[in-house]
Structure 1
Amino acid sequence: MEGEKEGDGRKRSGAQQRVTLKKEIGLLSACTIIIGNIIGSGIFISPKGVLEHSGSVGLALVVWLVGGCIAALGSMCYAELGVTIPKSGGDYSYVTQIFGGLVGFLLLWSAVLIMYPTTLAVIALTFSNYILQPVFPNCVPPYMATRLLSTACILFLTWVNCSSVRLATRIQDIFTVGKLMALGLIIVVGLVQISNGNYQGLGPQEAFHFDRAPSVGQIALAFLQASFAFSGWNFLNYVTEEVVEPRRNLPRAIYISIPLVTLVYTLTNIAYFSSMSPDELLASNAVAVTFGEKLLGGFSVIMPISVALSTFGGINGYLFTSSRLCFSGAREGHLPSLLAMIHCERCTPIPALLVCCAATIVILCIGETHNLINYVSFINYLSYGVTIAALLYFRWKKPQLYRPIKVSLLVPVLYLLFWVLLLGFSLHSEPLVCGVGLVIMLTGIPVYMLGVHWRDKPTCVHHFIESVTYVGQRLCFVVFPQIDSTDSAPPSAWAPTGSGNMATAS
C-alpha cells in the first residue's frame, strides 16, 4: 500500500507526501534525550540503596563514580553499533541482526513486559509522591491518590507523544534544563555547607568507616542500585532513524551527556552527605525532601516541586524511546504488525505508544513497584552484556565492514569483565531476585515459538489478526511508514494475510 492517505492529493515541494519517521532530533535534543532519560527518579531513590549496600559514605561515592565510568564504556560501544547499524531499536535491533531473532526477541520481551513499564511506573509514582508531599506534609500520600495522579500524568504525556514528535522533544528539552537546575540547587546548597565547614562525614577516616564490612555481593547490589539511576544512557540508540546526521550527532551526544550526568550525580551525593548523616539518609523516604527541610527552611517546598518536574521529564523521555522499541520490534516481525504503523499526518507511532501506556498502567495497578528495581537493574545489565558481546562477535564475523566509529577492543572487554563479575556476585548474593529476572526473560521462548516461529497458523487465527489490525488502523488512522526497499523487514508471522502487511487505512 502507498504510504499516504488515499484520496489525499496534497503535495509537498512538488512530490508526493511521504509518511515516515522524521529526522527532527538535533544535537541539543539528542543530549536532552540521554540526560532526560538518565535523570529521572533514580538520583532521588537510589542513594539510599547504594549507601545501604556499600556500608560507608566513601564507598558509596566510589560506586557512583565507577558506575558513571562503566556507563561511559558501554555508551562508547553503543556509539560504534549505532553508526554501524543505523536502525532504531537500540540493543534489540543490534542483537537481532547479529545473533538472530530468538535472542533479540528475548531482549524485546523482557523490556516490553517488565523493564520499561516498571521503570515508567516507578518514575510516575515518584512524581506523584513528590507532588502530593506538600498536600500531605505529615503522612504518606494516600495509595489511590498517587495511582490516579500517576495514571493522569502517563495519559497526558502519551497524548503529547501521539500528537507531535516536535512537541515531545521540546518538552524533553525544557524539563531536562529544569531537572539540571533542581540538581544544581542541591549541589550549590551542599557546596555552601562544605565551605562553612560541614564536611565531617566526608573526611577520609569518617567516609570509609564501616559499621559492618560489606561483602562482595553487597557491593555488587550497590552497583545494581546505582545502575537504576544511570539506566537510560543507551536510549538515543532507540531513535537513531529520527536523529539528524546520526553518524556525527549520536557519538557527540553520548560523549557530552554521560560525563555530565556522572559529575552531577557525584556532586549531588556529596551535597546529601554534607547535610545528612548516613543514618538520617537511610531513614529518609524522600532524600531530596529531607535535604530541603534541613537546609531551605520556608523554601523547602521548592524541593518536591523540582523533583516532580524532573520525574515528569523522565516519564516523557521513557515513553518516547520505549515506544520506538515496540515500533522496531513490530517492524522486524516480532510483535503484531499494527505496532509498526504511524499516523498518516503526524508521523507518530500511536499504536506503540498506546501499548506502552497500557502496560505501565497495568504495572501501576498491580501494587508497589519499588521492590522491582533490582529485577529491572538485573535485566538491564543482562541486556547490556549481551549487546556488548554482540559487538565483539560482529567484529570477528565481519572484520572488513566499514565502521565510522571503532572503539579500542579494550573498551568492550573491560565492560564485559565488569559485567561478568557484577552479575555473578549479584546472582550469588540475591539468587531469588536474579533468578526471577532470568525466568521473566526465558518465558519469551514459548511466546516466540508460537507467535513468531510458527508461521502456518490456522486460517481463523490469521483472520483474527487481520480484523484486529484493520480496526486498529481505522481507530488510530495509521499506516506502515515508507521505507527503502533495502531496509524492508522480513515477513511477519503477526501480519495480516492477503497483501501480507496492510489493510486500507483511508
Structure 2
Amino acid sequence: MLQKKQLSLFDLSMIVVSLVIGMGIFRTPVNVAVKAQIPSLFFLAWLIGGLVAYCGALIYAEIGSRFPVNGGYYKIFSACYHPSIAFAMNGIIIVTNAAFIAGVTLIGSEYLSSVILPADVPTDTYRLLIAGITVLIFYGINLLGLKTSSKIQNILSIIKIVLILMLICALFTGSTNSGIPPVFKSVSGEAPGWADYGKALGLCLVAVSFSFGGYTQTINLGGEVREPKKILPKGIRFGILIVIALYMLINYAYVQVIGFEELKTADSIAAILAGKIFGPVGYTLLSGLIFLSVLGYVNVNLLSNPRALFAMGEEKALPAAFAWQHKKTGVMVFSLTAFTALVLIILFYGKTFDTLLNYTIILDCIGTASSAATLFYLRKSTAHLDKDSIFTLKWYPFIPIIFISFYIFVALSIYQDDPVSALNGLLVFAIFMLLYFIGYWARRLRSQRK
C-alpha cells in the first residue's frame, strides 16, 4: 500500500523532541552528578553528549535522506547486514521501548495521582489504572490515523518544551545555592590522574547518551514524510538542536539553584525548581505538566515502534498480519495493537522485565554504532542519487568515525562497570537471533509441504 506523505518539517521536529525527552532529564542529572563528582566534569559530559547527538543527527539525516522508508531502523540493518541481525536488534528495541513506556507512564501516573487523590487513599492500584487508561486512550488516537496523532503530538511536544523553559526560569528567582565546593576523589584515595577522570567521564556518558537517545527512531517514519530527502534531515537536525539547548540550560539551572553537592542526593529536582518559582503550589502545577509531558512520550512511541513491526511483517520476519494497513486511514492496525498489548502486559507485570532492561543497555550502544555504520554502505549503494536531492553531511568519514567511537567507548564503560549485565545482554541478542532462524526454518518447512 502506498504511504501518504503527511508529516511536515514542524511535525518531524516535534517528534524528535518527544522521542528524546522522556522523564530522563528530570532524574538523570542526579546520577551524572554522582559519577562526575565535580561540576566541570558534569557539564563536560552533557556538552560531549550534545555534540555527539548532533553528529548522530547529521548521520541519521543522511541515512534517512538516502533510505526514506517506513520501518527504516529495521530495514537498514536488514539491507546492510542481515535480516537476522535486524530482527534481533529491533526485537530488543521494541521490548525495551515498551518497557520504557510502561515505566514512564507509571511515573507520570504517580505524579497525577498524588495531586488528584486524597492522601489517605492507597495509590498503587489507581496509579496502575491511570497508566493503563492513558495507554489505551493514545492507542485509540493512533487508530484515527497519522494526521490526528501527529497533531496531538505537536501540542504535547510544545507543552514539554514549555515545561522545561518554565523550570529554567528558576534561574531568575534570585535564589541560588553555591553549596560546598566539590572535590574529585579517586577510588584508591590517592591524587586523581587522567585515568580516574576518564573512567568517571565514561560512566557519566552512559547516562547522558541515553538522555540524548531516541532520535534514531525518526527514520522509522521516512515513508510518511513530505519530501523526505529534504524534510527528514532538517527535522532531525532542528529537533536535536532544540533538545541540546534545553538540556544544557536546565542542567545549568539545576546546579545553580539546587547546588552541585545537593544535586547528588536530591529526590525530585524538577519539583525543587518549580517550588522556587511558584512556591507551595509549584509541585501541583509541576505534577500536571509532567503528566502531560509523559503523554507526549507515550504517543510518539506508539507512532514509531509499530512501524518497525510493520517493516518486519513486510519482510516476513513476522507474520504477514503485521504488514496489514487499514485502507482508509493507512493505520498499521495489527502492529499498533500488538505493540500496545506488549506495553500493557509489561505495565501490569513490569517487575519481571527490570533485569532485561539492564541487559539491553549495552545493546543500544552497539545498535546505535552499527546502524550509523550503515552510512558507509549506503554511500556506495546510493551513489547514483542526485546529490542536490539528498542531504550529504560534511566532514565524512570523520563525523561517523567519531560517533561510532563514542558509542564503543560508552559500551566499554558499561562493560567495565557491570560486565555480567553486558555479557547477558549479548546473550539476549543471541536468543533473538535464534528466534529469527527458528521462524525462518519453520516457514521453509511449511512452504515445502504445500
Q: Per-residue displacement from partner, 1:448-479 (whole Å, max 9, x unpaired)?
A: 111124433348x99xxxxxxxxxxxxxxxxx
Cα 1:430–1:40 shift into 2, 3 Å: same
1:128 to 109, 113, 124: 109
Q: Per-residue displacement from partner, 1:259-279 (whole Å, max 9, x unpaired)?
A: 111110111111122221345
2:439 to 436, 442, 451: 451
Does the alignment pair 1:92 with 2:74? yes
Q: Per-residue displacement from partner, 1:387-413 (whole Å, max 9, x unpaired)?
A: 122222444566556552222211101
Taking structure 2 as the reference length, the TM-score comes to 0.89
The 10-residue stretch of structure 1 (392-401 or 55-64) with the greater mean CA deviation from structure 2: 392-401
C-alpha distance in 2 between matches for 1:210 and 1:298: 35
Name the residue aligned to 1:491.
Answer: none
C-alpha distance in 2 between matches for 1:160 and 1:32: 17
C-alpha distance in 2 between matches for 1:102 and 1:371: 24
**Partner amino acid, structure 2, of 1:177:** I
**Partner amino acid, structure 2, of 1:337:** A
Does the alignment pair 1:198 with 2:182? no
Name the residue aligned to 1:470.
Answer: none
Does the alignment pair 1:344 with 2:333? no
Name the residue aligned to 1:315.
Answer: 298
Name the residue aligned to 2:391.
Answer: 405
Cα 1:154–1:217 shift into 2, 3 Å: farther
C-alpha distance in 1 between matches for 2:375 and 2:109: 40
C-alpha distance in 2 between matches for 1:140 and 1:289: 22
Name the residue aligned to 2:419.
Answer: 431
C-alpha distance in 2 between matches for 1:35 and 1:394: 26
Q: How does 1:74-153 map to 2 (within 5 A)?
A: 74-112=56-94, 114-135=95-116, 142-153=123-134
C-alpha distance in 2 between matches for 1:455 and 1:264: 49
8 Å contact 1:288–1:304 — kept in the other structure? no
Name the residue aligned to 1:234.
Answer: 216
Name the residue aligned to 1:486.
Answer: none
8 Å contact 1:224–1:374 — kept in the other structure? no
Does the alignment pair 1:173 with 2:145? no
Task: Give the CA deviation at 1:35.
Answer: 0.8
8 Å contact 2:324–2:334 — kept in the other structure? yes
Task: Give the CA deviation at 1:72.
Answer: 1.1
Name the residue aligned to 1:67.
Answer: 49
Task: Give the CA deviation at 1:50.
Answer: 1.7
The 10-residue stretch of structure 1 (410-419 or 280-289) with the greater mean CA deviation from structure 2: 280-289
Q: Per-residue displacement from partner, 1:33-85 (whole Å, max 9, x unpaired)?
A: 11121112121121222222222333222212211111111121111111111
Cα 1:217–1:373 shift into 2, 3 Å: farther
C-alpha distance in 2 between matches for 1:76 and 1:140: 50
C-alpha distance in 2 between matches for 1:280 and 1:322: 38
The 10-residue stretch of structure 1 (42-51 or 409-418) with the greater mean CA deviation from structure 2: 42-51
Cα 1:150–1:57 shift into 2, 3 Å: farther
Cα 1:148–1:400 shift into 2, 3 Å: same
Q: How does 1:462-501 map to 2 (within 5 A)?
A: none
C-alpha distance in 1 between matches for 2:240 and 2:444: 47
Unaligned runs of 5+ in 2: 187-191
C-alpha distance in 2 between matches for 1:381 and 1:140: 42
Cα 1:443–1:223 shift into 2, 3 Å: same
C-alpha distance in 1 between matches for 2:356 and 2:123: 21
8 Å contact 1:217–1:426 — kept in the other structure? no
Does the alignment pair 1:417 with 2:405? yes
**Partner amino acid, structure 1, of 2:93:** A
Name the residue aligned to 2:189.
Answer: none
C-alpha distance in 1 between matches for 2:36 and 2:341: 36
8 Å contact 1:34–1:254 — kept in the other structure? yes
Richer in helix (by share): 2
Does the alignment pair 1:154 with 2:99? no
**Partner amino acid, structure 2, of 1:35:** V
**Partner amino acid, structure 1, of 2:329:** R
Name the residue aligned to 1:325.
Answer: 308
Name the residue aligned to 1:285.
Answer: 267
C-alpha distance in 1 between matches for 2:130 and 2:360: 23
CA RMSD, Structure 1 to Structure 2 (Å): 2.6
C-alpha distance in 1 between matches for 2:116 and 2:221: 38
Task: Give the CA deviation at 1:280.
Answer: 3.7
**Partner amino acid, structure 2, of 1:456:** R
8 Å contact 2:70–2:307 — kept in the other structure? yes
Cα 1:429–1:85 shift into 2, 3 Å: same
Unaligned runs of 5+ in 1: 1-18, 463-496, 498-506
Does the alignment pair 1:163 with 2:144? yes
Name the residue aligned to 2:236.
Answer: 254
C-alpha distance in 1 between matches for 2:312 and 2:68: 15
8 Å contact 2:73–2:308 — kept in the other structure? no
User: SS at the partner of 1:143?
Assistant: helix
Task: Give the CA deviation at 1:252.
Answer: 1.0
C-alpha distance in 2 between matches for 1:51 and 1:354: 40
Task: Give the CA deviation at 1:348.
Answer: 0.6
Cα 1:256–1:20 shift into 2, 3 Å: same
**Partner amino acid, structure 1, of 2:71:** G
Cα 1:169–1:415 shift into 2, 3 Å: same
C-alpha distance in 2 between matches for 1:429 and 1:215: 15
Cα 1:21–1:64 shift into 2, 3 Å: same
C-alpha distance in 2 between matches for 1:217 and 1:266: 22
Taking structure 1 as the reference length, the TM-score comes to 0.80
Name the residue aligned to 1:11.
Answer: none
Task: Give the CA deviation at 1:376.
Answer: 4.6
Larger-Rg structure: 1
C-alpha distance in 2 between matches for 1:337 and 1:81: 27
Cα 1:94–1:120 shift into 2, 3 Å: same
Cα 1:145–1:435 shift into 2, 3 Å: farther
Q: Per-residue displacement from partner, 1:217-256 (whole Å, max 9, x unpaired)?
A: 4432322212222222122211111101111111111221
C-alpha distance in 2 between matches for 1:107 and 1:222: 25
